[in-house]
Amino acid sequence: MNGKERARLAFAHQEADRVPIFELTIDNPTAAEVLGRPNLCGFGGMARGVSQNQALMQGKIAQYNHQRLTDEIALWKALDLDVYPMAMPWQRSYQIPEQVDENTWRFTDPATGQWRLCRYAPESDTYDQVDSSLHRGGLAELERLTQYLETHPSSLEDWDFTPVDILIEQLGKDRMVLGMADVEIGSTWDWAETFLIGLIEAPSLIHRYLDANLKTALMLGEEMLRRGVDGLHGGHDWAAQKGPVFSPRHFRQFVFPRLRQITELCHRYNGVYVKHTDGNVNSLIEDMIDAGVDGFQAIEPRAGMDIADLKRRYGDRLTLIGNVDCSTVLVDGPIDLVRRETERIIQTAAPGGGFMLSTSNSVHPGVKPAYYLAMLETARRVGNYPIRNV
């Protein structure tokens, strides 16, 4: 049985030969340990931020994109993972950053003049947007951006689908390949305050902003499904450790109706939809299922997400994907704890199918390679169906 077959059975809530293994992203140093060479894998700051910015400024973004794709394919093959969830086309044009200092870059949109500031933190290998005109200018700037998105919609000609085709060719025969499509909420960016104020003070503007982005998500999602991806995956975080970033009532008003459009598109092509989010989303699970989500990835233990409770309450309606703790267990170890936790999670969530093993977020730069590899080894040792309770 190959990875695609295992994953399909998991979404059908049936048992395969063994528990399928999913991972969101895999950063260095784990990627370097596995591949035995420097690489551009994952979303760590050096790969996603610094190297990409250098390529943009040197006119080498095509080489960067191809090398990054080559590295990710090699990594997924080397680890024999069952699902690749991050297929996306390349943009045909990019904003060229201005380097402000050693670790800071400024991007300015030539069409609108709006800008954003991104910074790399070497100590944690993270790269984030830390300031922007949307943060500084508030709702007036969001109105200006929304008007531009509405009057200058993206088209398929703006995107290069070569990476999607390569992933389907290289990985899609033996593994499930998912494209990316989500409702892009602004509450996880540096301009979160602007977005959250808009939910209350300018709801019509927020609806327009979300709709403008949704049109692009649906357009790209349908093209990827038409080309042969097995489904779609959404990666915008919805919550922190204590609960959603805004009220469930507002999620029902602004997010779930749009998410349903994406899942319905997915299902029309017989695909599956996987929603990733960190944090405590217990208050959103029923709405997530009602919106057509097939799988939920992350299931963060430190945020009060109890996979045993989720399996008991929703295991016949939602494929659970997680939840080995990547904030403590895969960072601090020891290996014996990694093995025990991996086995416990499999025994808790895998019986009957409807489960894939992954970390509780991703293999970020703080994860120790030996611990992640021990997680995979344990899964393949104890995850054969029928699951044996010890």
Domains of the chain as residue ranges with CATH: 3-70+80-89+139-382 (3.20.20.210)
How do residues 299-347 score in pLDDT, each as one tens digit? Answer: 999 999 999 999 999 999 999 999 999 999 999 999 999 999 999 999 9
364, 30 Cβ separation under 8 angstroms: no
Query: By C-alpha distance, which of 131, 120, 130 is closest to 45?
Result: 120
Give pLDDT, residue 187: 85
**Given this model, what pLDDT does residue 188 score?**
83
Q: Distance between CA atoms of 280 and 222, rounded to whole angstroms? A: 30
Residue 257 one-letter amino acid? P
* CA 307 to chain CA mean position, Å: 19
Of the candidates 155, 181, 160, 20, which has an alpha carbon nearest to the alpha carbon of residue 86? 181
Q: Tokens at residue 296, please?
A: 């939920």
Distance CA 277, CA 295 (A): 11
- Mark residue 333 as left, alpha or beta (left: phi above 0; alpha: psi -120 to 50; beta: remaining): left
Residue 389's pLDDT is: 63
Q: Which residues contact 381 (CB under 8 A, 6 or more apart)?
A: none
- The phi, psi pair for 227, rounded to 5°, reads -80, -15
Whole-structure pTM over 0.85, yes or no? yes
**Alpha-carbon span 67 to 79, nearest angstrom:** 18
Long-range contacts of 385-389 (CB under 8 A, 24+ apart): 385/15, 385/16, 385/17, 385/18, 385/19, 385/350, 386/15, 386/351, 387/19, 387/346, 387/347, 387/350, 387/351, 389/347
Q: How far is CA 371 from CA 29, 166, 341, in A?
A: 12, 31, 11
Low pLDDT (below 70) residues in the chain: 389-390
